[in-house]
Structure formats: structure tokens, C-alpha cells
Structure 1
Amino acid sequence: MGRAVAFEDNAFEDNLGAALDWKGRPVRCRECDHQAINAMGLCAKGRACIRDRRARRVETFLRANPELADQYLDHPYFEVRAGAARHATVFRLAPLLDDPEPEVRAMATLRLPAERIRDMIHDEDIDVRIAAASRLTGADLVPAIRDEAYMVRITAVRRMPVEMLPLVRHDPDPEVRAWVARRIDVRALPDMAFDPDPLVRREVAGRLPPDPLRLLVEDSDMRVRFTVAERLAEEDLFALLDDEEPAIRELARTRIEAVPELAGRLADHTGHDGAAVVAFPAPHDPGKET
């Protein structure tokens, strides 16, 4: 059946309590059907035990004995069924899509072929729908973009084809729209430049090409303008020399000064305080006189 497994000591886990089964009764190895593998070191009470009520101990047992998982897919304790679903033969998992426990349905959804789990995108449990959205592709994800749970929508947005993303750019949740801004075709990004949430606009500013990026030079949020100052073409940065934020003015000035053909124009620019910006000559060095 395999060689003995050295289970890691885990003082925290061992201190969580006695080894009890799912009904709260003490686990007794002599009552178990797996005494043979216990003798081989493939299970250990309190660490790796299929009868223990703690999911971690069940999982440790199944990792050491994956060939036994199939026989536990109909166990009355849902933690055992969920653990078994993680290791069992895929061909045995389809009935678990109707399991009363969402944790079991989610695990089956994560492992079964995509064509078998299309209906799970409509499951009553959020975690199951997230699992389905993480597996489905293309048109099968359309129901997910209308899901009431934003995490389902985010999961779908991170996987759906780029050409479908315009359908989600007006999602009510800014985190979803931010993911759209990270992935949508750059040709569609200008339409998101005036999103009501600054964090979405910052994502837009991080990807817009130079010309449409000028749309955000006067954005109300300094984080957006700072991103603009980092990416805007140097010849367009003069508009940011008057920004109300010193860090943005300094960044714009530093980038302009790095371009010799633009640096001279700084002397003619009126600064944030209304005074002309003067380009001072280098300090006098007598040693260079001839």
C-alpha cells in the first residue's frame, strides 16, 4: 500500500483537543477498519485519522492514503465527504454536485470537467458559484457577471475573454470595475477614465496610452494624477507643474529636466505660487577659469 509516512508534529493542532469523531465520541484505533495501515504508519490518532472530526486530520489521512478516498464519498460527516472529494477518482464525483453541503459541492465543482458543472453557476451557495466561475469559460460565465455576490463577478471578470469585458465595465462594485480596467482592451479604456471611483481611474491611468492619458491630468484624486505624472509624455507634463500636490509637481519637474530639449522651457513656466520658475546657473568655479 505504500511506505510509512512521517507526519509532522503540530503542537498547536495537538492542543486543540482530544481525538473525537464527528459525533463527539473518543476515537479508538481498535474499533477502526484501518488497523493494518495504522501498523504501517499510514495513519495516527490525533494527527491523521479518517474518523476524527477535525478536517485537518481527515485531510492528512487522505493525503497519505488517497486510494481510500472513493469509499468515503458517501460518509455521513460532510468534512469527510469534502476531503474525499479532493482525492477521489473524478469519475465518482458527479453525484456530489447534489450534496446537501456546499463545501462538498464546491470541491466536486473544482474537480469535475467544465461541461459537467455549468449548472453550478446558479447554485444557492456563494462558494459553489465562485468555484464554478473559476472553472467555466466564455459564454458559460455570462450568468456570473449578473451574480449578486461581487466575489463571483470578480472571479468571472478575471477569467472571461477580453471581448466580453465591456459588458461589466459599469458593474456597481468598484473592485469589479478595477479588475475590468486591468484587463479590458486599451481601446475601450478611455470610456472608463471618468469612473466615479478613484481607484478604478488609477488602474485606467496605469494602462492608457499617452494621448488619452491627458484626460486625467486634472483628475480630482492625487493618486490618479501621480500615476499620470509617472507615465505621461514629458512634453505634456508642464500642466502638472502647477499641481496642488508638491510630490506631483516635483515628479513632473524631475522628468522634464531629464529631457535636455525641454529643460530650458522651465525658466518660462509660472510656478504653483505664481512666481516664474528660474533656471539658476551652475555655481561659479574659479578653478575652471582660464
Structure 2
Amino acid sequence: MGLTLVVTQTEKVDPARLCEDCKYRDSLLAKAGCQPGDACIRIESGRQIDRFLQRHPELAEQYLDDPFWERRAIAVRWSPAHRAIEKVADADETVRRSVATRLKGEDLLLLAADPDREVRITVASRLPPTLLNRLLHDVDYAVRLQVARRLPPGQLMKMARDEDLTVRKEVARRLPPFALRLMAEDEEPEIRRTVTSRMLPEEACSMLKDSDWSVRATAVLQVPLAALKPMLDDPEPDVAQLARERLNAESKD
């Protein structure tokens, strides 16, 4: 997840004034290495600051402690990683989000408990899978969703009873078939349908008695043919019809 530059609204500034006392006036400016309105480190414009440091990344470290939060955030992007890590406790969340895009491995754990959800989402999207357990119980569902998307399948059972529907949907989509029975009694029919559609045929038989007709219909398409005869009398006509169609197709073969 990359850093999103924020276009800061500022009053119009005379380019000549910006350059009058700029330390780069006789070096970079003189050699067309910067240009107010396009690539400038002094103006409060994220795009111009980024263009400046993209051209001159060797200067980025000088701005890691700049008073302007956006200049610090962009400086983190272009500074060496060993310097970017120094800003993990920056007062501004945008700066810390930028730091999260630069760190790797265990260093990302420095931001695992950050108060900003976007920082933690970035951490969850970049942590090595072996370290994702640290975010299993994050208070924000979006962070846990990232974990559910990236956690090794064999460890997903730990999230089968997550309180959030979106997270459980992802778990149901990725759990190994042999473990899906753990979610067979989920309170949401949507989850049970996903579970049923991925179950091993023999295990899907247990879903033929589900209280929700759409789950039973999904089970009818999944179970062995030998289990279908009782479903011809299902109270839901669509379920009974599906069972009849499967049985008829088999008899024709």
C-alpha cells in the first residue's frame, strides 16, 4: 500500500520570492534541477515536493524533521530505510503510514500497535506471514481482513469465529476443505453457503438440513447422489427441483 500524496491548498506564491533565499538557487535552480510550479521543496505542495525529492533523493534525509508534515512524509519515502525507521513515532499519522511502506520484516512490528488504522492495515499487508499472528485480534476489522487474506491456510482456523462478517467470509473462502466444518454453524447464511460450496461431498451432507433454503440448495449440488433422495420432499420447491434435476441427469447417463 503506497503513500497517498495530499494536495495541499496554499495561497499563490510568487516563484521569484520562493527562490530569493533558497539554498538551491545557485546550484539546482541554476542547472534546471528544480522549478517552482513543477518540482520545489519549499512550496507546500505534495506533488512538487515529491518531484523534487524524486530527482534528488540524496537530499531527502535533510527533511525528515521538517515542520511541515507532508514534507516529512515524502522525505521518508525517498530516504534510506535505516533513516526512515527513525520516524515510527512521528506525531503525524501520514508520516507513519509512509514509514510503514518502507519497513520490512520484524521492523514492521514497531507499528503493529499504531493508533492509526491505516498504518496497521499497511503493516498487515506487508508483514511476513509468520508474524501475522500479532494482528489476529486487532480492534479494527479492516486490519483483521488483511490478516485473513494473507495468513497461511493452516492457521486460518484461529479466525473462524471472528466477530466481523467480512472477515469470516474471507476465512470461509480460504480455509482448507477439511477444516470447513468449523464454520458449518455460522449464524450468517452467506457464510454457510460459502462453506457448503467448498466442503468435501460427504461432509456437505450435514448441510442438507440447514434452516436456510439457499444453504440446502448449495448442499444439493455438492453432496453424493446417494444423499439426494430425501431432498425431493424439501419444503422449498427450488431445492426439491435441484435434487430432481441432479438425479434425472444421473439416470440419463
TM-score if structure 1 supplies the norm length? 0.67
- For the pair 1:267 / 2:229, whether they are aligned, the reply is yes
Q: Name the CA distance, whole Å, in 1 between partners of 2:15 and 2:84.
A: 39
Q: CA deviation at 1:118?
A: 0.5
Partner of 1:115: 82
Closer/same/farther in 2, CA of residues 265 and 223 from structure 1, 3 Å limit: closer
Task: Report the structure number with the largest CA radius of gyration.
Answer: 1
Instruction: Report if the CA contact (8 A) 2:53-2:60 is conserved.
Output: no
Q: 1:219 aligns with which of 162, 180, 186?
A: 186
Quote the Cα distance in structure 1 between the aligned partners of 2:160 and 2:54. Answer: 47
- The 1-side partners of 2:15 and 2:154 are apart by 66
Match of 1:180 among 120, 123, 147: 147
Query: How many residues are treated as equivalent by the alignment?
Result: 223
Pair 1:131-2:131 in alignment: no
Give the Cα separation in 2 of the matches to 1:271 and 1:215.
Answer: 28
Deviations 1:215-262, CA, capped at 9 Å, x for gaps: 111100122112112211122112222223332222221233xxxxx2
> What fraction of aligned residue pairs are identical, expressed as a percent?
31
Q: CA deviation at 1:82?
A: 2.1
Q: Is the 8 A contact 1:147 1:153 kept in 2?
A: yes
* Superposed CA RMSD: 3.3
Per residue, is there more helix in 1 or in 2? 2
Query: Residue 116 of structure 2 corresponds to which residue in structure 1?
Result: 149
| CA positional deviation for 1:126 | 0.8
Letter in 2 for 1:108: A
Residues 57 and 79, structure 2, Cα contact 8 Å, conserved in 1: yes
Matched, 1:79 2:45: yes
* SS class of match (2:221): helix
| Counterpart in the other structure of 1:259 | none
TM-score computed with the length of structure 2 as normaliser = 0.76
**Contact 2:189–2:212 (Cα < 8 Å) also in 1:** yes
Residue from 160, 166, 170 that aligns with 2:137: 170
Deviations 1:165-190 (A, max 9, x none): 11110111111111111111222211
- 1:279–1:264 distance in 2 versus 1, CA, 3 Å: farther
Letter in 1 for 2:141: P
SS in 2 for 1:171: coil
1:77-124: per-residue Cα shift (whole Å, max 9, x none)? 322762444433111110110111111111111122211110112111
Alignment of 1:1-290 (within 5 A): 24=12, 50=36, 58=37, 61-62=38-39, 72-73=40-41, 75=42, 77-79=43-45, 82-256=49-223, 262-268=224-230, 273=235
**Aligned residue type for 1:236:** E
Residues 180 and 94 (structure 1), Cα distance of their counterparts in 2 relative to 1, 3 Å cut: same
Residue pair 2:160, 2:172 contacting (<8 A) in 1 also: yes
**Alpha-carbon distance in 2 for matches of 1:102, 1:89:** 19
Deviations along 1:120-158, one digit per CA (max 9) or x if unpaired, are 121111111111101101121112111011110010010
Once the two structures are TM-superposed, the CA of residue 279 in structure 1 deviates from its matched residue by 5.0
Change (3 A) 1:255 1:83: same
Could you say if the C-alpha distance between residues 101 and 251 of structure 1 is closer, same or farther in structure 2, counting changes exceeding 3 Å?
same
Unaligned runs of 5+ in 1: 1-21, 35-41, 43-48, 51-57, 63-71, 257-261, 284-290
